[in-house]
Amino acid sequence: MNYLFCDLDDTLFQSRRKTPDAAGVTIAAHGPDGLPNAFMTAGQRKAFDAMFGAMTLIPVTARDRDAYARVQLPRAPFAVIDHGGIILDAAGQPLPAWYERSAEHARQAQPWLEDLHREATQFLGEEGLSVTSRIIGDFDLPFYWLSKYREGHEQHLDRMERELIIPWVERRPHQAWIHRNGNNLAVLPRTLQKRHAVSFLLELLRQDDPTLVSWGMGDSLSDLPFIMECDYMIAPRRSQIATLVSEHAA
């Protein structure tokens, strides 16, 4: 069997703002309000159909259960959601063994996630920045801290990243790591990474299929560790990963 471990947002599809206005654009996901909010170009749709005709898709996404449920995808045997915090089975239920592991790690991370949220909220108030601060959880577990800028205030998020978040994480190198891509600034426990869940699933799948071939596909630098668990890598041409590679391939 060939398995494609595949990131979703900005890999298979993207928001309306990032989708070129051209013929053949199709809907890929809906927002909580029921309106379409993610789209595939005709080229993405062709690539999608070719890959999923040849491989078994395993989505690997930061989306939570509800946001994942709003994506239009073929049925998958497993899905890695919440940045790796939860692995869903084919029926959409969390794998108990993985959930137990995540629950233990979430309990350990909760106090410092709450500290960070408090410090960020105070910083935003004092500096008057138009940026959100939230702890993101799912299935009753707190997973990570997330911040986004409001309409047009990207520099506010850049400033908080530089002045508060980077120094904060540098003081806790064994505990936390940063994911930043566009309007997502997240601080996650080291134990919460897509890579850990993909590695767990590969081991599980190899029990039945020792010669399986795995493909990893994603756009963000933070996808690289899980992609490197796989036999082959695929990345969109316009992505953090492609930019990194082009710097070395000139």
Instruction: Work out how close the CB of 62 gets to Mg ion at its nearest, in angstroms, rounded to a whole number.
Output: 7
Question: Which is closer to Mg ion, CB of 164 or CB of 192?
Answer: 192
Give the number of other Cβ atoms within 10 Å of residue 77's Cβ. Answer: 14
Q: In Å, what is the CA distance from 157 to each residue of 104, 114, 148, 182, 221?
A: 31, 19, 7, 10, 19
Integer Cα distance of 3 and 95 in angstroms: 19
Q: Segment contacting Mg ion (CB under 5 A): 11-19, 116-124, 138-146, 185-193? A: 11-19
Instruction: Work out how close the CB of 7 gets to Mg ion at its nearest, in angstroms, rounded to a whole number.
Output: 4
The one-letter amino acid code at 217 reads: M
Question: Which is closer to Mg ion, CB of 105 or CB of 194?
Answer: 194
Consecutive H or E run containing 194: helix 194-208
Instruction: Work out how close the CB of 222 gets to Mg ion at its nearest, in angstroms, rounded to a whole number.
Output: 8
Q: Is 71 in the site for Mg ion (CB under 5 A)?
A: no
Q: Are 228 and 244 in contact (CB under 8 A)?
A: no
**x-or-dash pattern for Mg ion, window 184-223, by CB under 5 A?**
-----------------------------------xx---
Q: In Å, what is the CA distance from 76 to each residue of 17, 58, 171?
A: 28, 6, 39
Question: Which is closer to Mg ion, CB of 82 or CB of 120?
Answer: 82
Q: Are 120 and 147 in contact (CB under 8 A)?
A: yes
Q: Token digits for 109?
A: 């991370």
Q: Is 7 in the site for Mg ion (CB under 5 A)?
A: yes
| Strand partners of residue 9 | 13
Q: Which of 9, 82, 138, 229 binds Mg ion (CB under 5 A)?
A: 9
Q: Is 10 in the site for Mg ion (CB under 5 A)?
A: yes
Query: How many residues sit close enough to Mg ion to count as binding (CB under 5 A)?
Result: 6
Order the strands of the 141-147 sheet from edge to edge. 134-138, 141-147, 185-189, 176-180
Question: Which is closer to Mg ion, CB of 129 or CB of 186?
Answer: 186
Question: Which is closer to Mg ion, CB of 48 or CB of 99?
Answer: 48
Instruction: Work out how close the CB of 178 gets to Mg ion at its nearest, in angstroms, rounded to a whole number.
Output: 15
Q: Is 229 in the site for Mg ion (CB under 5 A)?
A: no
Which residues make up the interface to Mg ion (CB under 5 A)? 7, 9-11, 219-220
